[in-house]
Chains A and B, each alone.
Chain A
Amino acid sequence: MHDVSQEFFGGVFNDKIEGGRAAAKISIHPQGLVAETLEEQRFEIPFGECQLDKGGASGRMIFCRNNDRSITLFCEERGFPKALESLSLGAFSGQLRAIQQKQRGHEKTFWFWLTVGSVMTLIAGVIGYYALIATTQAAVAALPISIDENIGSVAIKSVELHARLDAGHVATKLVNDIVKELEPHSAIKGLNFRIMVVDEPTVNAFALPGGQIVVYTGLIKNAKSAEQLAGVIAHEMAHATLRHGLKGVGQSLGIIAAIQLVTGDVGGLLALSTQLAQESILTSYSRKSETEADLEGARMLHEAGIDPKNMADFFQMLEKLEGDIPDLLAWISTHPQHADRIARIENYQKQLPQKPYRLLELPWEEVQNQLAN
């Protein structure tokens, strides 16, 4: 008991004090609590009269009032409740326990509602996200295809096509012939496919909304056969027919709108985290659409009588090339892992009915010779 301090700093409320309140030294005596102000006014509350309460701005302040509530002592020091309990020889243990229980009850309620709130927010977020995706998908399907074409013709202006080969070039003709083979089997009819072949060593090809397809000669040179090239072109055509461009735009606009709706006009930190969340959602979305385009491309190849394995073979070839050609990074960064893609295409092919595949009768050697010069 001797190691417990008997004097604490606190204060007292009483009408005799000027202003009604003063700082005071509070000491615990065998018979009760005593407060002495700096002006040496002395107030005493016997243990028997003392009504304890907890509160204050910090929530940790202990108050002690006498019977007629004319004197109120208060103290916020951490050791005070413990000292009070031990020095009053248990006179307060019941009251102190009641205060502690009240406090715990408050804390429990707080944590309960905090947990409920967080869980509800999370559920609402997940539901909202999936509802948003479903809504954009449905909304995009309802939009006329001319919107895709408009977006595509705006987007093509931002692409540099200096070294574009003219329409009469054998390479352009070759790609056009491949598109003609695949076109009857595309998911939506009436899409106006336009081909641009660009003379650059980049191993890449891309499709814009509305059916404009850009193929770099680097890709044609690295393909081992016309069928492999057809595999890549089928993939790019699938992007256009599945309207991935419009879905991506719709989704990112939707996500921005939804996040703004939820967060309101909040700056700084929130804006940053919003942007990060948005980017990660969009990258995974584009990966998902790559997989979709792979499978849709494989279906088109199959329907056209071309072995979908050629698409897988092309990816295998890319895998081997990796590291040798830095330009490949452009393709790799937005596309899923090659091994996964190959496995998925092969799996998909197993589900398709067996059918004899043909080889394309195209001037492959001539194109390769032309491009080599």
Chain B
Amino acid sequence: MTNALDYKIDFRPDFSLLTVNLQPGQKVHAEPSAMASMSPTLTMKAALKGGAMKSLGRMFGGESMVVNTFTASKGPGEVIFAPGHLGDTQHYRLTGGSLILQRGAFMVHSEGVEITGKWQGAKGFFSGEGLVLLKATGTGDVFFNSYGAVIEVDVTDNYVVDTGYIVAFEDTLQYQITTLPGLRGGGIKRLFFSGEGLVCQFSGQGRLWIQTRYVNPFLSWINRFRPTTKND
């Protein structure tokens, strides 16, 4: 295996922190503002990676167009990355295939990996999770973060996940946006009032990562406690 990163993930799952040890000359790429601390031997450069189209793809996938590159230019050193919100950080080793990531889930990747947007069309529109997912391709390490802890599921045939809980899945899994099987035929009323709207139905074989919390219900819960200001 070439260019495997030397890394460790601490304080899992809720306050996870990723530490990457770089050998001289080695590079790691991260989403902006993910860096918490780094050795003075490293240098950082911000750039639109992979050209305009790929940068746009990332932007539509809920990420920044800019990717920060950390290089161990003056000797070995470590860099620490933290996700933007509470939750776990997960490692995945790409070996030529691809990994599909939920909007905004990307955090860090090594050399040899490319992050682009993956157009979802009608699928994305109806899922309510945005029209573009992220796609990591190539050979190397990818780190993605979740909201809450992460459960790894080995799908062997079929599996159903609420769209808001999907973090990432392997390219060998086929997915379809659908209503919960029990709701079908129950009329549109149940779809709207059950609170269990659209789900993602996975089929085939592959790994799937789901998070233990979904950010939208949390936001609507916390919204009630938000101080309000009156405009006049």
Q: Is B175 an interface residue (CB 8 A)?
A: yes
B215 to A: closest C-beta gap in Å: 18
Task: Decide yes or no whether B50 CB sits under 8 A from chain A.
Answer: no
Whether the pair A56, B171 counts as a contact (CB closer than 8 A) is yes
**Residues in A whose Cβ lies below 8 Å from that of B172:** 11, 13, 21, 55-57, 61, 63, 74
The verdict on A114 contacting B154 (CB below 8 Å), with A56-B174, A74-B172 known, is: no
* Contact yes or no, A114 B171, CB < 8 A: no
User: Is A38 in contact with chain B by the CB < 8 A criterion?
Assistant: yes
Q: B207 CB to closest chain A CB, in angstroms?
A: 8
Set of chain B residues within 8 Å of A56, measured between Cβ atoms: 171-174, 204
Distance in Å from the Cβ of B169 to the closest Cβ of chain A? 7
Q: Are B122 and A76 in contact (CB under 8 A)?
A: no
Q: Does A186 make an interface contact (CB < 8 A)?
A: no
Pick the contact of A57 from B95, B96, B174, B207 — CB < 8 Å? B174
In the complex, the chain A residue whose C-beta lies closest to that of B1 is: A38
Does A11 lie within 8 Å of B97, measured CB to CB?
yes
Is B203's beta carbon under 8 Å from chain A?
A: yes
Q: Tell me if A52 counts as interface (CB < 8 A to partner B).
A: no
Q: Contacts of B98 on A, CB cut-off 8 Å?
A: 57
A61 CB, min distance to chain B CBs, angstroms: 7
Residues of B within 8 A of A38 (CB): 95
Question: Which A314-338 residues have a C-beta within 8 angstroms of B?
Answer: none
CB distance from A90 to the nearest CB of B (A): 26
Q: Does A76 lie within 8 Å of B205, measured CB to CB?
A: no
Question: Which of the listed residues A13, A56, A58, A59 has the most CB atoms from chain B within 10 Å of its own CB?
Answer: A56
Q: Which of the four size classes fits the interface of chain A?
A: 20 to 34
Interface residues of B: mostly helix, strand, loop or mixed? Answer: strand
Greatest chain A CB density within 10 A among B97, B98, B169 is at B97
Nearest B residue (CB) for A54: B174
Looking at the complex, which one of A9, A23, A110 makes contact with B122 (CB distance below 8 Å)? A110
Contact B154 A57 (CB under 8 A): no
Binding site of A, secondary structure by majority: helix, strand, loop or mixed?
strand
Interface band, chain B:
20 to 34
Known pairs A13-B205, A57-B100, A63-B204; A76 contacts B95 (CB<8 A): no
Considering only residues 54-97 of chain A, those with a C-beta below 8 Å from chain B are 55-59, 61, 63, 72, 74, 76
Look across to chain A and name the residue whose beta carbon is closest to the beta carbon of B99.
A57
Judge whether B206 is part of the interface by a CB distance below 8 angstroms. yes
**Contact flags B156-196 to A (C-beta < 8 A → 1, else 0):** 00000000000001111111000000000000000000000
Inter-subunit contact A57/B171 (CB<8 Å): yes
Write the nearest CB–CB distance from B193 to chain A, whole angstroms. 18
Q: Is the CB of A58 within 8 A of B122?
A: no
Give the interface centre of B96, B122, B172, B173 by most chain A CB atoms within 10 Å. Answer: B172
For window 89-118 of A, CB contacts with B under 8 Å fall at: 110, 114
Give the complex CA separation of A21 and B173 in angstroms.
Answer: 13
What mask results when residues 200 to 232 of chain B are scored 1 for a CB within 8 Å of chain A, else 0?
000111110000000000000000000000000
Query: Would you call A20 an interface residue if the criterion is a C-beta within 8 Å of the partner chain's C-beta atoms?
Result: yes
Check: A22 CB closer than 8 A to any chain B CB.
Answer: yes
Question: Given A55-B204, A56-B172, are A114 and B96 neighbors across the interface (CB < 8 Å)?
Answer: no
CA distance A57 to B170 in the complex (A): 8
List B contacts of A22 (CB < 8 A). 95
Q: Provide the residues of chain B in CB contact with A21, threshold 8 Å.
A: 170, 172, 206-207
**Can you give 9 A-B contacts (C-beta < 8 A)?**
A13-B172, A21-B207, A22-B95, A57-B118, A61-B171, A63-B204, A63-B205, A72-B205, A110-B122
Interface residues of B (CB under 8 A from A): 95-98, 100, 118, 122, 154, 169-175, 203-207
Besides A13-B172, A56-B172, A57-B175, 14 new A-B residue pairs in contact (Cβ under 8 A), listed by A number = A11-B172, A13-B205, A21-B170, A21-B172, A21-B207, A23-B95, A55-B173, A56-B174, A57-B169, A57-B170, A57-B172, A61-B172, A61-B174, A72-B205
